[in-house]
Amino acid sequence: MITMEDWALIRRLAAEGVPKAAIARRLGISRNTVAAAVASEGPPKYERRPGPTSFTPYKARVRALLAETPDMPATVLAERVGWSGSIRWFRDNVNRVRADHRPIDPADRLTWTAGDVAQCDLWFPPRKILLEDGSRTLLPVLVMTCGYSRFMLARMIPTRKTPDLLLGSWSLLEQLGRVPRRLIWDNEPGIGRRKVTEPVAVFAGTLATRIVLLPPKDPESKGIVERRNRFFETSFMPGRHFESPGDFNAQFTDWLLTANARVVRTIKARPVDLLGADKEAMLPLPPAVLHLGWRNHVRLGRDYYVRIDTNDYSVDPRAIGARVDVAADLDVVRVRHGGRLVAEHPRRWARGMTITDPAHVATAAKLRHDYQHPATPAPADDGMVRDLSEYDRAFGLGEVSQP
């Protein structure tokens, strides 16, 4: 079989009028090979003759197993059929057979109208963030992308639990200034599986919007925001360093201003230019959402701390034994007793911390001292003190005579 270079040279020489015999002598090949190259409709390619291989005896059994379980791993298939050769060679052959048993899943072209939808997702930046206790951890970033304008909003949050997801969503909607008619989620546990959780339903009802949970294996319906997550990793993350979650959010917010001003290839427009039309068709933003965030109503024990997520925060010990209202957002923890503020702390994103206000410790020490050393009450002077001689006369005792 001749090479690609020889095939091209033969056809060029033949086109220039060089006789086939001369071409054969020049290249040292037969005249039949020259004639075949000139008459061919395409370049030469190697085609292996079909024949039995070491995989052939196992092929029928592999097909039968894949017909029942199309996603069965090649390692499991090898064990089931008794394969003892190279697993790589076996896997390559299985992949060729597997294509015949893979179900077809067509993907539709989706269009998004103005104001209709924002796709929501959690992105985990591939870099650990420094926290207050000196530890580092991967933290979630709540991302919201408007379907029509492709306008992006995002914020790092402490956890992927329901209170923080709703706090983050409200923060992003406040930045947007309007509410899309639908918020699309992909079965995030903190939002809901199959149906939304009760706090999420209350949140959606307050906003008058609808939260849509996508069915499994439907990535196209949330493809816009997922492509943005990959975009963040390749365009925002390289070369950056973050001192804290707040530093990350500050840098990310500044970068999003530039990113939203770039032309998006699929819509051939800049998100910032389409945002006005998108927002005009959205719902108005309510002034506030009540009972949002971490909330609890507990009786304060002798250990004058309350817990938010995994952290304990001190409270004025004068409220011990009383019911207190605990509330926390993404930034601050507040505790009230009868409407009076009895504790306020910056919220900590590290886990398992104990946060103490020195003033609470000093108050507790004074209360403990007063409890352990109660003051002895002074005898009451009611002006009723009597002369002891009156008792002597009452019992018939006279003055003792002197000898």
Q: Residue 168 above 50 pLDDT?
A: yes
**Mean pLDDT, rounded, for 349-353:** 94
Q: Where are the alpha helices (DSSP H) in 208-260?
A: 223-235, 245-259
What pTM, to 2 d.p., does this model score?
0.71
Q: Residue 397: what pLDDT? A: 58
Chain centre distance of CA 187: 12
Residues 65 and 32 in one domain: no
335: enclosing H helix or E strand: strand 332-337
Q: What CA–CA distance (Å, rounded) separates 204 from 207? A: 5
Interval 92-101 mean pLDDT: 88
Q: Is there a single domain that holds both residue 279 and residue 341?
A: no
Domain contains 381: no
> What is the SS3 assignment for 125?
coil
Q: Where would I find the beta strands (DSSP E) of 104-251?
A: 117-123, 129-130, 136-137, 141-146, 152-156, 178-179, 182-185, 192-193, 195-196, 210-213
Q: How far apart are CA 99 and CA 88, in angstroms?
A: 17
- Residue 403: the pLDDT is 45
Average model confidence (pLDDT) across the chain: 89
Name the percent of the chain lying above pLDDT 90: 65
For 265-299, what is each residue's pLDDT tens digit? 989 999 999 999 999 999 999 988 878 999 999 99
Number of domains making up the chain = 4
The least confident of 13-27, 40-54, 119-133, 186-200 is 40-54
In the three-class reduction of DSSP (H, G, I as helix; E, B as strand; rest coil), residue 51 is classed as coil
Using pLDDT thresholds of 50, 70 and 90, give the confidence band for residue 402: very low
Last residue of a domain, one of 284, 313, 330: 284
pLDDT of residue 367 exceeding 60, the answer is yes
Residue 249 resides in a domain: yes
Q: What is the pLDDT of residue 277?
A: 96
Classify residue 109 as exposed, middle or buried by CB count within 10 Å of its CB (0-12, 13-18, 19+): exposed
Is residue 355 within 8 Å of 314, Cβ to Cβ? Answer: yes
| Shared-domain flag, residues 270 and 300 | no
- 255: domain CATH number is 3.30.420.10
Between the CA atoms of 315, 320, 325 and 330, what dihedral angle is there, to the nearest 10 degrees?
Answer: 20
- pLDDT higher than 50, residue 175: yes
Residue 252: burial class (beta carbons within 10 Å; 0-12, 13-18, 19+): buried
Residue 119: per-residue pLDDT: 93
Range of the domain at 77: 56-98
For residues 87 and 126, membership in a common domain is answered with no
Q: What is the pLDDT of residues 223-235, one digit of tens each?
A: 888 899 999 999 9
Residue 123 falls inside a structural domain: yes
CA distance 141 to 172: 11
Among the residue ranges 108-117, 279-288, 356-365, 386-395, the one predicted with the least confidence is: 386-395
